[in-house]
Structure 1
Amino acid sequence: MTDAIEPRILIVDDARDIREPLGQYLRRSGFRIRLAADAAEARRAVEDEPVHLAILDVMMPGEDGLSLCRDLVRNRRLPVILLTARAAQEDRVEGLDLGADDYVTKPFDPRELLARIHAVLRRVPPERPAPPQSRRRFAGLVHDPGRAAVTLPSGQEVALTSGENRLLALLLDHPGQVLSRMRLLDLLSGREARAYDRAVDNTVSRLRHKIEPDPRAPRLIVTEWGGGYRLAADVEPPA
């Protein structure tokens, strides 16, 4: 981190009565703060100066926080905490699958958010490890992590989300090995393992639908009951 004493935090929320008091509270807690009312303003902020962590409201007019989260994680490798009024687990899982490091449900206690900020800054390295940029072939498919895509044996190219791209890269790094849900979650996000293993299951399910001939009877990403997942294919550089 370029400035370990006073990390810079970006707060993105269209509600002024949340954005500004939260900014004041975090300034008093020793952070430098940049405020933004929408995704466009947030992007200008990260272009202007380094940011160490972003706090994003999910429900914003125009581009929502999940879309902004995807962009900041994929293109900036920026740690993200989501603020969400949604209680459904599917919405929380979606944010975590996009690469968010944590979430806080509104209304929230600023002290809890402060504790989560400190936890994320402690456990997220200055630069997140990126998937390898070289393409790899497995079972007639080619994974291009730099483009976040898989070319099928038919020649069709399938786009991957950032979570699917990282998950496939990890499985290709460990062909034939059983990787537990908790280990995959920890490797995928860099955060402490907690009760979010369903995020891994959901990402595996979506990835199977994109690369398996029959996702209901998967032969490439195999479930090891009580263990986790295993890539049942040899991996080699493409010809």
Structure 2
Amino acid sequence: MRLIFSREQKPPRLIATIPNAMTQAPPRLLLIDDDISLAKMLHEFLELHGFQVTVVHEGETGLRCVNEDPPDLVILDVMLPDISGFDVLKRLRADHDLPVVMLTARGDESDRIFGLMGGADDYLPKPFNPLELTVRIQAILKRSKLDTSGQPARDTLNVGPLTMDLKRCTMSVNDTPVPLTAAEMRVLEQLMRRPGEVLSRAGLTKLALDRPIEAYDRSIDTLISKIRGKLATAGIKAQCIRGLRGHGYVLDDEFSAQD
């Protein structure tokens, strides 16, 4: 089923039934996109699939909305009339830890890398399948509650001096907080669940980002680099996450802080 649309096309009224992972209030989304016709289509489509959607067309307006009433997830366009979507992302990350999916009319690899380095949880180039956006949003919201097996996640993961509190979505090194983004948390979570086990880049992409790896996709490498830097700042001097050329990444099961 291929349902890619552009701003001139209207999406189907209903294309599939996607079960909502949230059983209480509908998840609240904030869409920040200056393409008025496309935003209207996405608003209609996402609400048909069980979301409550607020639409704004400027970055500053979106930031005010988040500060006044934080949504469950932000859908953020890169090209905005007042400020760059990357600037919006940077300011969001300074004060909030909510998930962000970035949209762009440009498919440049550099945009994807800048977005992920800035703390975006996912990235989707236009034109895209609206159903894919819906599934990605639901996967991001669901991952905060379930592990990859679909069972309730354990409250904490511990590997050496690393402690991840899955319930509170926090990370620490010997009780020193480590400010990870949601995407960085998911990558490190998969490694901490399998210390000493090599995970391929394709496997990490599927487990942590819930999508197949793409050609020339460096998303995992970018996230690993950010995680290493933040762990080093918190006192992990050794490279506890090792890259094995042609194989993937492994979290050493024996290491300590200040090595």
Over the matched positions of the two proteins, sequence identity in percent amounts to 26
Map 1:101-140 → 2, pairs under 5 A:
101-104=122-125, 108-109=126-127, 112=128, 114-120=130-136, 124=139, 127-129=142-144, 133-134=155-156, 136-138=158-160
Do structure 1's residue 25 and structure 2's residue 48 form an aligned pair?
Answer: no
Of 193, 208, 211, the residue aligned with 2:228 is 208
Judged with a 3 Å threshold, the aligned counterparts in structure 2 of structure 1 residues 227 and 89 are, in CA distance, closer, same or farther, namely same
CA deviations on 1:99-131 (whole Å, 9 max, x unpaired) are: 433322xxx44xx3535424425x626522468
User: What per-residue deviation string (whole Å, max 9, x for no partner) do you get for residues 75-106 of structure 1?
Assistant: 4xx5x4312366652331242463433322xx
CA contact (8 A) 1:172 1:231 kept: yes
Task: Measure how far apart 1:171 and its partner are.
Answer: 1.5
The alpha carbon displacement at 1:228 in A equals: 0.8
Which residue in the other structure is 1:161 paired with? 180
SS of residue in 2 equivalent to 1:127: helix
Could you tell me how far apart the structure 1 residues matched to 2:186 and 2:225 are? 14
The alignment yields a C-alpha RMSD, in angstroms, of 4.0
User: Please, what TM-score do these two structures have when normalized by structure 2?
Assistant: 0.60
Aligned position for 1:188: 208
Alignment TM-score, normalising by the size of structure 1 = 0.64
- Larger mean CA deviation between 35-44 and 125-134 belongs to 125-134
Partner of 1:147: 170
Offset at residue 179 of structure 1 (A)? 0.7
Q: Distance in 2 between matches of 1:11 and 1:176?
A: 40
Residue 188 (structure 2) pairs with residue 173 (structure 1): no
Q: Give the letter aligned to residue 163 of structure 2.
A: H
CA distance in 2, matches of 1:161, 1:173: 17
Partner amino acid for 1:213?
K
Q: Quick one: distance in 2 between partners of 1:83 and 1:114?
A: 12
Residue among 229, 234, 242 paired with 1:222: 242
1:38-72 CA-partner distances (Å, limit 9, x unpaired): 3334426865xx76x64212355388342366589
Task: For structure 1, list consecutive stretches of 5 or more residues without a partner in the other structure.
Answer: none
Report the count of equivalent residues: 209
**Cα distance change of structure 1 residues 10 and 225 upon mapping to structure 2, 3 Å threshold:** same
Letter in 1 for 2:206: D
Structure 2 residue identity aligned to 1:117: L
